[in-house]
Structure 1
Amino acid sequence: MSVDGIGVERVFIGAGCNRIVNNVSWGACDLVAFGAENGVAIFCPKAAQILTTLPGHKASVNCTHWIPSSKFAFKEKQLERHYLLSGDADGVILLWELSLADKKWRHVLQVPQPHKKGVTCITGIMVSETDVIFASTSSDGTINVWELILPSTIGGDCKLSFLESIFVGSKSMVALSLSELPGNTGHVVLAAGGLDNKVHLYCGERTGKFVHACELKGHTDWIRSLDFSLPICTNDGTSSLLLVSSSQDRGIRIWKMASCSSQSNSKGTFREEKISLASYIEGPVLVAGSSSYQISLESLLIGHEDWVYSVEWQPPSVTSANGFAYYQPQSILSASMDKTMMIWQPERTTGIWMNVVTVGELSHCALGFYGGHWSPNGDSILAHGYGGSFHLWKNVGIEYDNWQPQKVPSGHYAAVTDIAWARSGEYLLSVSADQTTRIFASWQNEASFGGSDCWHEIARPQVHGHDINCVTIIHGKGNHRFVSGADEKVARVFEAPLSFLKTLNHAISQKSSFPEDFQVDVQILGANMSALGLSQKPIYVHSTHESPERNVNDGLDTLETIPDAVPVVLTEPPIEEKLAWHTLWPESHKLYGHGNELFSLCCDQGGKLVASSCKAQSAKVAEIWLWQVGSWKAVGRLQSHSLTVTQIEFSHDDNLLLSVSRDRQFSVFAIKRTGVDEVSHQLIARQEAHKRIIWACSWNPFGHEFATGSRDKTVKIWAVDKGSSVKQLMTLPQFTSSVTALSWFALDHQRNDGFLAVGMESGLVELWSLSVTRTVDGSMTVPGVTAALVRRLDPFMCHVSSVQRLAWRKSEASGDCKSVLLASCGADHCVRIFEVNVA
């Protein structure tokens, strides 16, 4: 097999955002960075696609910060490289470089002297085109300040120098902001806020020691966010600095820092005319070298009904051709746990700050926002929420503001445990420990960014009260159905409603894998969630014509008063609110029988049988159950293993069932259908195959050969001989990490060539070519196999923690080039799709 021309391209990444404050950053390069478990994900808001993930962190990523951030977008016109800082739960901070010319990323350095505990906030300012000062804070009670000199030439090195470590004691700081003091004094001011309800100001020179200058009191609960404006010039030529702070006391405060000389000048008529009605409370004086600044409370903004997690000034706009003069808009964005974001601006006549825009999920879907961010040009605002989801609004109005929701990437916010392709490959189904099942499909009739098909989440069929561990799609004729298994002892069967079938037709822009008249037979339009998330009840097509007053008698406000879902046919990729509520599938059956949490599921090729296993410590509990599709009766209980069966798979002809287990053994069963509802099974081989847990197995799609992969870092190829015994064909060279996922794909039936995709605990994926030979020796057929490594996927394309499952989908072969999609899911919260091109 010629494997020289193997090309692998990234098609799609789906991931949710870590549920933590300060995790998201929108840079001057118009890209958004966020932490997805221990990876840093980068997404493009214009394309609504995640572009890449950056591997390097060992612990969950807590915060990211772009250099330059959107605040310094007016300075970035001539920058060829942008930088990104990311901090994790172990206290490690990494610096990354993005080259704008070729969109290539590289890991530049790890900041020395890491924090002893998790990093909670990173902030930075550009003092000049190559000089950056940044600060980080941690729950270890310290704030570290660094100077970073960026290279002025291509290929140059970044120089990092340590300026100061400030110890703040047991009440650690969780919010930081840096600014240069106005008036060209060469001094930098650092604002820090946290658990003692005060804003602490530290003053220092660009090169040296930071001293505690003063503290601002007023908030009555933890301070969660701080942001300095850029210096604002007033009519009399002086400039002042504004600091906005937000707190868990639901309030937002704006503090003004004006140099004392300008304060005295403006005590006259100018001040009285300008701010006659605004509250003005004098605070402490901040001294920096020979300059001093009077601090006053400019305004108190009340409007949110819950903790205000973030506040941010609108980025300045450029007012001169050379890009150094700027205008700082008087506009603040706040995001709160009350599920809203607000934009605040002073009224033109009185100067009183008012809430001028409110956006948000005013429904019960989200549990609030952890942060809000401006786009560099100020026409879009982005929030990230408790459900790991993003929410983006763009101001599409011309003469007046009109903020409309936009498409954003989406994905799981916990480890993705299993994936399955639809039987015709139209979509990919994934399940996760975030207790949701999601469907991703390529939306072909979209005028997409870059001219190619874009993949989006188009449905969330199951939203459940348990972590979901495994899933299988039912093959064979009939409606789309899947079975999922969670941290409960029950498997659940779901069936596609009419609204999904019609949405799928829109998405793939051609007739789906079933005729229109089949859809007429589907009487269920969608599903409602139950109050406790225990079962999803169907909404029937005819019931939509009933009068909506049927709940009038339910006067009591109980748990059951969850509003009904409104299943609709989607004509474009849906936003989070529609996904979370209106795309559920009805549950048709529950399969009872297992004694513990379900662990693995599979369906045969003909769509007649489903096999399931659960977590087990004994042979009795480690049984594999067989279920008849349709009647959903238990038709077999296969006993062989003594510990959890980790994966099960039917052979291509459905005659054999392979299982692998934590007990280091594999088993092969012969399966025969003896009647309508009867199945006979016989154990034909059981063998201890590896020295450690066997995590994965996969059949050759055209033969009775199979592969097993184990924690002992090996992959072995086996053949079932004459249907009665198993012999080992070969062991692949040892891998660098535990093998956690395998998937075998056959290219050519006649020549029996194919690929084996190998996924590892490190997150890396390798492609091996496998060529099976069968030589006839007298009356015996002797199988053989040759293997070669053909591609190690780039770490920037791979997962950043353990690969949980790999699954091939064959797509159309055009001419001499075959194009195949490979899907993977991992503990890094990501679902990934790669396109493998074989010349």
Structure 2
Amino acid sequence: MKCQVERAFIGAGCNRIVNNVSWGASNLVAFGAHNAVAIFCPQKAQILTTLPGHNAAVNCTYWLPSSKFAFRAQQLSHHYLLSGDANGIIMLWEVSLTDGKWRHVLTVPQPHKKGVTCISGIMFSSTEAIFASTSSDGNVNIWEIILPVTTGGDCKLSHLESLFVGSKTMVALALAELLDNTGRVVLAMGGLDNKVHIYSGERTGKFVRACELKGHLDWIRSLDFSLAVGKKGARDTLLLVSSSQDKTIRIWKMVLSDTSGKSERKDVIGLASYIEGPLFVSGLSTYQISLESLLIGHEDWVYSVQWQPPSSTSTENNGHLQPQSILSASMDKTMMIWKPEKISGIWMNVVTVGELSHCALGFYGGHWSPNGDAILAHGYGGSFHLWKDVGIDSHNWQPQKVPSGHYAAVSDIGWARSGKFLLSVSHDQTTRIFAPWLSGMGDQGSWHEIARPQVHGHDLNCVTIIQGKGNHRFVCGADEKVARVFEAPLSFLRTLNCAVSSESDLQEDIQLDVKILGANMSALGLSQKPIYVNAVQEAPERPDSEAIDTLETVPEAVPVTLTKPPIEDQLGWHTLWPESHKLYGHGNELFSLCCDHEGKLVASSCKAQTMSVAEIWLWEVGSWKAVGRLQSHSLTVTQMEFSHDDSLLLSVSRDRQFSVFSIKREGVDETNYELLVRQEAHKRIIWACSWNTFGHEFATGSRDKTVKLWSVVSRTSVKQLSTLPPFPSSVTALSWLGLERQTNHGLLAVGLENGFIELWSLSGIRSEHGSTSVAGFTANAVARLDPFMCHASTVQRLAWRSSESEKTEDSQNNQLASCGADNCVRVFEVNVSQW
């Protein structure tokens, strides 16, 4: 058997840290998603890949060449990316723009002793660059890097300097070439002592302290040098912009002085004249720095400032022209573009964009696109916000679709019974729905987050989607003792029918006469209150025209039918589902949930250290009464699953045992259950289990790095069929897909603690005398997924797409979803073919 696996979708949020995002001259955006580096394409609004290798959270990324030096990279087929993590490790990556292939080039020697906080660089030519990194260990390291001219060549890295800055660590860096054309470099750094420190040095190293710039009243958060500017081709000025937690932005002017030490003064002293500042000498040249402007407009910490990169159209005799335009991003939820007025030269705020919803808690950074027609922010909620200037004669900045995802570990996933969407829950306290959005052109559609049904006040641990007929419902468990039931509102059903479903197979849902249009968030982010269809006033046509969120008023949600994938503001506010029931009974935090295939019963378990607390509760769907309490385990039940005929319930636990229960429904209200067998199966915690689609065989996976296959042979005994060869890491997730009923042929997906995923082909061997029971399984590894496709941390759950309505038994295309501790939700296309 042959198995071909392709990446279909990656959903991930951005680490909540400054300097984490970088938009390069390649027009790709890099950001840290837990301990992976994620790459997304702004044009497609899709995450293209993730780069594994870091063992700690990725703190910062930096492109070589960055968008500032795009004019030096027009002929380059390979671009490079630096990434730094919380352990002090810096890695260099290479991407080929022709085929999109990535490779790890090197890990920078002499790592920092603590987390890397900022990386900044400067390109001298298409192959020569210097970059500097700063860390909370109080050191700034400066490196020279020679990039290869040919494909696949080696990068040469040489250490130039280590500067110790003391206990007041630096968190912002900027590098620039000095104006005397002798190849000398200026380094600006800022941090906890509220000053901007200027160092000058040669390209070969030997950096010396030049001067300090005082004025800011709080931490310096961001620094950026312009390219050389000047009128009529005279490049005699360098501008440095700095931003601070004192809510202000300062522009510093650096000019070449004459030999007498007096810089050129303007004949007329106007409003734009500067305050004379310190002098410093570098080589044979003397420079004067002065304050050019103080920009006040933000109402909170200004985390990021960046000069607009020179576009390819604005060229002069030297190949580039620095636009007089600065982008700033602040925790006040806004980004601003600043430009000097043509007549007075006073710097003014000309564009303000931002998020008005209560969900956004401010921006950690702002970035220009390489040609300056788009700006990107990343926020506290791990989200991206992109605006593009779509105006022809005048500026018209409009929000654009961006990738989205969880910004903390994703703990569980589930497919809708129709297979039309995938639902995930995370420790970031949100539930999200991802689906392929059909463009109407007959294609498969590109995946997007289409709804955020739950924004909660506790970390979410588990979820199950109610199978069977009726409206879409799910049950969710969190770090509280209550399970909550949610039901799809009318606005979601209409969106699903309009944009995600190619046929009208969801009309049945619409005909259920759903009276609830959407939901409002509660004050504490726990229970979500329904918005009824009749209670809605005239809904605005535009979903983004809600009332402004102030401290006094929280705006009403405006649930609408979406006609295109929603942006962050809509997701966090207008796509909530109402909560219909709470299920009380467990004594501790909920840990796992599952639903039978008819949609009649839900089983739940919680964290436990005693047998009485470790019991499994059964709930009747609809009435939501507790109809059973199953006792067997003595520690937390880690996963449960109903057999495909719903007659058996399998549970596995931290106590290293599995249990099989018989479940029978007598009449309407009565459910009978019985423990058939309990058996110690592994030497360590059992994390995962999964039933064979075509029979009463199941698999268990454990921390002891093994997967075992079992068969229920009678009402009182379970027989071990086989043990798969040991895996390189703990087995944390399993999902069994039946491919062919006649030969009992299937595919077992195995997820490991190191993030890797393997696919194993299983073929059942029938016992003698024509019995239907299975005597054993032959197992073969048919695919070990490429590390660049896998998770960068523990795989938490695997789930094959279940779409019984459209799938035949000989269907060869299947979709596998996975979620992990690396904050990612992934979907793979698995094409199975015979040899």
- TM-score, normalised via structure 2 length: 0.96
Paired residue for 1:635?
A: 627
Query: Contact between 2:196 and 2:212, CA under 8 Å: does it hold in 1?
Result: yes
Query: Contact between 2:490 and 2:510, CA under 8 Å: does it hold in 1?
Result: no
- Is 1:355 the counterpart of 2:352? The answer is no
Q: Offset at 1:104?
A: 0.5
Q: Offset at 1:508?
A: 1.9
Write the distance in 2 (CA, Å) between the matches of 1:535 and 1:813: 37
Q: Secondary structure of the equivalent of 1:499?
A: helix
- Is 1:209 the counterpart of 2:201? The answer is no
Write the distance in 1 (CA, Å) between the matches of 2:689 and 2:699: 5
1:157–1:751 distance in 2 versus 1, CA, 3 Å: same
Structure 1 residue runs without a partner (length 5+)? 549-556
Q: Which residue identity does 2:282 align to in structure 1?
A: A
1:519–1:214 distance in 2 versus 1, CA, 3 Å: farther
Query: Contact between 1:768 and 1:789, CA under 8 Å: does it hold in 2?
Result: yes
Q: Which residue identity does 1:189 align to in structure 2?
A: V
Residue among 570, 573, 584 paired with 1:581: 573
Residue among 153, 157, 160 paired with 2:154: 157
Residue among 171, 174, 190 paired with 1:177: 174
Write the distance in 1 (CA, Å) between the matches of 2:451 and 2:259: 59
Q: Secondary structure of the equivalent of 1:620?
A: coil
Query: Contact between 2:619 and 2:627, CA under 8 Å: does it hold in 1?
Result: yes
1:813–1:675 distance in 2 versus 1, CA, 3 Å: closer
Q: Secondary structure of the equivalent of 1:283?
A: coil
Paired residue for 2:764?
A: 772
Query: Contact between 1:263 and 1:294, CA under 8 Å: does it hold in 2?
Result: no
Paired residue for 2:366?
A: 372
Write the distance in 2 (CA, Å) between the matches of 1:608 and 1:226: 59
Paired residue for 1:551?
A: none
Matched ranges for 1:251-330 at <5 A: 251-261=248-258, 267=264, 271-272=266-267, 276-318=270-312, 325-330=319-324
Q: Which residue identity does 1:329 align to in structure 2?
A: P
Paired residue for 2:702?
A: 710
Q: Which residue identity does 1:464 align to in structure 2?
A: H
Paired residue for 2:416?
A: 422
Query: Contact between 2:58 and 2:84, CA under 8 Å: does it hold in 1?
Result: yes
- Is 1:506 the counterpart of 2:498? The answer is yes
What CA deviation, in whole Å up to 9, does each residue of 1:20-44 have, x standing for no partner? Answer: 0000000000000000000000000
1:439–1:345 distance in 2 versus 1, CA, 3 Å: same
Paired residue for 1:410?
A: 404
Write the distance in 2 (CA, Å) between the matches of 1:51 and 1:729: 40
Write the distance in 2 (CA, Å) between the matches of 1:174 and 1:656: 57
Write the distance in 2 (CA, Å) between the matches of 1:262 and 1:234: 22
Which stretch has the larger CA shift, 58-67 or 150-159?
150-159
Matched ranges for 1:8-47 at <5 A: 8-47=5-44
Q: Secondary structure of the equivalent of 2:278?
A: strand
1:405–1:447 distance in 2 versus 1, CA, 3 Å: farther
Residue among 128, 136, 148 paired with 2:145: 148
Q: Offset at 1:445?
A: 2.2
Q: Which residue identity does 1:16 align to in structure 2?
A: G
Q: Which residue identity does 1:147 align to in structure 2?
A: E
Residue among 682, 690, 693 paired with 1:698: 690
- Give the aligned CA root-mean-square deviation in angstroms: 2.0
Query: Contact between 1:501 and 1:519, CA under 8 Å: does it hold in 2?
Result: no
Write the distance in 2 (CA, Å) between the matches of 1:524 and 1:483: 18
Query: Contact between 2:471 and 2:509, CA under 8 Å: does it hold in 1?
Result: no
- Is 1:827 the counterpart of 2:824? The answer is no
Residue among 103, 128, 139 paired with 1:106: 103
Q: Secondary structure of the equivalent of 1:232?
A: coil
- Is 1:57 the counterpart of 2:54? The answer is yes
Q: How many residues align?
A: 823
Paired residue for 1:441?
A: 435
Residue among 119, 134, 158 paired with 1:137: 134
Q: Offset at 1:144?
A: 0.3
Query: Contact between 1:99 and 1:105, CA under 8 Å: does it hold in 2?
Result: yes
Query: Contact between 2:90 and 2:107, CA under 8 Å: does it hold in 1?
Result: yes
Paired residue for 2:64?
A: 67
Q: Which residue identity does 1:196 align to in structure 2?
A: D
1:457–1:780 distance in 2 versus 1, CA, 3 Å: closer
Q: Offset at 1:518?
A: 3.9
Q: Secondary structure of the equivalent of 1:272?
A: coil
- Is 1:676 the counterpart of 2:673? The answer is no
Residue among 474, 478, 484 paired with 1:486: 478
Matched ranges for 1:605-644 at <5 A: 605-644=597-636
Q: Secondary structure of the equivalent of 2:386?
A: strand
What CA deviation, in whole Å up to 9, does each residue of 1:639-686 have, x standing for no partner? Answer: 000000000000000000000000000000011112322111111111
Write the distance in 2 (CA, Å) between the matches of 1:279 and 1:447: 58
- Is 1:230 the counterpart of 2:227? The answer is yes
Write the distance in 2 (CA, Å) between the matches of 1:830 and 1:780: 40
What CA deviation, in whole Å up to 9, does each residue of 1:585-623 have, x standing for no partner? Answer: 000000000000000000000000000000000000000
Structure 2 residue runs without a partner (length 5+)? 541-548
Q: Offset at 1:362?
A: 2.4
Q: Which residue identity does 1:256 align to in structure 2?
A: K
Query: Contact between 1:77 and 1:323, CA under 8 Å: does it hold in 2?
Result: no
What CA deviation, in whole Å up to 9, does each residue of 1:460-496 have, x standing for no partner? Answer: 0000000000000001111000000000000000000
Write the distance in 1 (CA, Å) between the matches of 2:337 and 2:821: 37
Query: Contact between 2:606 and 2:614, CA under 8 Å: does it hold in 1?
Result: yes
- Is 1:563 the counterpart of 2:560? The answer is no
Q: Which residue identity does 2:30 align to in structure 1?
A: A
Query: Contact between 2:801 and 2:814, CA under 8 Å: does it hold in 1?
Result: yes
Q: Percent identity?
A: 75
Q: Offset at 1:412?
A: 0.3
Write the distance in 1 (CA, Å) between the matches of 2:617 and 2:742: 35
What CA deviation, in whole Å up to 9, does each residue of 1:297-320 have, x standing for no partner? Answer: 000000000000000000012368
Q: Secondary structure of the equivalent of 1:235?
A: helix
Q: Which residue identity does 2:218 align to in structure 1?
A: D
Q: Offset at 1:749?
A: 1.6
- TM-score, normalised via structure 1 length: 0.95
Paired residue for 1:381?
A: 375
Residue among 706, 726, 729 paired with 2:718: 726
Q: Offset at 1:722?
A: 2.4
